[in-house]
Amino acid sequence: METPGSQSSLHRANLERVVRAVRMAGSLTQAEIARTTGLSAATVSNIVRELKDGGTVEVTPTSAGGRRARSVSLSGDAGIVVGVDFGHTHLRVAVGNLAHRVLAEEAAPLDVDASAEEGFDRAEQLVKKLITETGVGVGKIVGVGLGVPGPIDVASGTLGSTAILPGWAGTNPRDELAGRLGVPVHVDNDANLGALGELVWGGGRGVKDLAYIKVASGVGAGLVINGQIYRGPGGTAGEIGHITLDESGPVCRCGNRGCLETFTAARYVLALLHSSHGPDLTMERVVRLAREGDPGCRRVVGDVGRHIGSGVANLCNLLNPSRVVLGGDLAEAGELVLGPIRESVARYAIPSAARQLSVVPGSLGGRAEVLGALALVLSEMGDSNLLDESFPAGAPAFT
């Protein structure tokens, strides 16, 4: 048995510290590991050599700042993670390894409003299909990250609002999918997963405080504070769509009037263009037409940007993030929507907070949420299971 504070206990803790740093980043040079963990360069060098000899990490030549360096990543066969993203009209599944490499990915149309049972059936089939295609054994699955378009109750894991997904009333997505796949499942809402995806792989890399804004059938924000997703005690943090813009405005699904969502969500925005552009519009097409110069679509996209900017200004005043990442189809409008967002932020936010804020489009597009689901597993898993086979607890310290 290890004695707390003993040399072997300290060594084990350092092993786990290095593995966690590499796991969260995907790959790091030894100098970056030292900066991230606070360990000395000599200690990191010894630990990396030990982890490499034990098969836990892989080391490849690279360069950093024009100098030769060694890139450290977790071994490709250390385990795999699965991401599942339920959207209102699609299901997307990805399989990746612990070195942040996506091994397989597929999307399929799916109306999640219709039936939770159908959604879980389809997700189970698609996960098993992709696992088979990768040729990796099911026993290598470390966990599954699951995203749904609605708030998740932190304590129970159940959907916190059935107004968004009426066909899913009373379901516990985490337990349902875990029972089908026989592996641990971690669940979160799609905005939080979008934030994680952009934080790890996309437009939020290198930033510790950001907000990811997703505008689709609803409007939500994933909040990252000091590098961690902030969910709030009940899991409803980031419901930016229910900031009141006009007390005399349209009635929102939440029961209030004039919420941000009633001015920006797809079902409200598309209705503005039905008489001039027909009933079959989608937000994707509105954005495309706006980029092509259509005056009506450009006006609508600009108005949506100004409304989103009002909500972002509130976030600036409360949380002072350094970056806002806009996701969803709307992000493809580029400066047509980002410019109006910045104008509203400059008008309504505290000047010092507005000056520190950058507003950028997401770089992952529709993949942000499913990649965020992979990142969720990577952030929630422990490191002991990665070390136990090669470095059982109580083993002598490396010398």
With bands split at pLDDT 50, 70 and 90, how would you rate the model's confidence at 159?
A: confident
**Is the pLDDT confidence value at 394 over 50?**
no
Q: Are residues 210 and 359 in the same domain?
A: yes
Q: Are residues 262 and 358 in the same domain?
A: yes
The answer to whether position 252 is within a domain reads yes
| Residue that is last in its domain, among 75, 109, 124 | 75
**Is the pLDDT confidence value at 326 over 90?**
yes
pLDDT of residue 61: 87
pLDDT of residue 397: 35
The answer to whether position 396 is within a domain reads no
CATH of the domain at 105: 3.30.420.40
Q: Are residues 150 and 263 in the same domain?
A: no
| Residue that is last in its domain, among 43, 75, 107 | 75
Range of the domain at 59: 7-75
pLDDT of residue 4: 53
**Mean pLDDT along residues 64-75:** 83
**Mean pLDDT along residues 207-234:** 90
Question: Cα torsion for 374, 380, 384, 388, to the nearest 10°?
Answer: -30
The answer to whether position 386 is within a domain reads no
Q: Are residues 177 and 216 in the same domain?
A: no
pLDDT in tens, 135-144: 887 888 989 9
The answer to whether position 30 is within a domain reads yes
Q: Are residues 165 and 294 in the same domain?
A: no
Q: Are residues 38 and 53 in the same domain?
A: yes
pLDDT in tens, 345-392: 999 999 999 999 999 999 998 899 999 999 999 888 765 556 655 554
The CA-to-CA distance between both ends of the chain, in Å, stands at 20
Q: Are residues 108 and 42 in the same domain?
A: no
pLDDT in tens, 90-103: 899 999 988 888 99
| Residue that is last in its domain, among 29, 51, 75 | 75
Q: Are residues 214 and 353 in the same domain?
A: yes
Q: Are residues 244 and 329 in the same domain?
A: yes
Which of 10-24, 104-118, 281-295, 371-385 is most confident? 281-295
Tell me the C-alpha to C-alpha distance, in Å, between residue 245 and each of 194, 260, 282: 25, 6, 24
Q: What is the mean pLDDT of the chain?
A: 87
Rounded CA-CA distance 191/189 in Å is 6
**Mean pLDDT along residues 163-192:** 86
With bands split at pLDDT 50, 70 and 90, how would you rate the model's confidence at 84?
A: very high
Phi, psi values for residue 311, rounded to 5°: -65, -40
CATH of the domain at 46: 1.10.10.10
pLDDT of residue 57: 86
pLDDT of residue 101: 87
Rounded CA-CA distance 283/272 in Å is 12
Q: Are residues 219 and 347 in the same domain?
A: yes
Angle at 361 between CA 359 and CA 363, to 5 degrees: 135
The answer to whether position 392 is within a domain reads no
With bands split at pLDDT 50, 70 and 90, how would you rate the model's confidence at 271?
A: very high
Q: How many domains does the chain have?
A: 3
pTM over 0.75: yes
Q: Is the model more confident about 170 or about 68?
A: 68
pLDDT of residue 399: 26
**Is the pLDDT confidence value at 256 over 90?**
yes
Q: Are residues 350 and 212 in the same domain?
A: yes
Q: Are residues 269 and 320 in the same domain?
A: yes
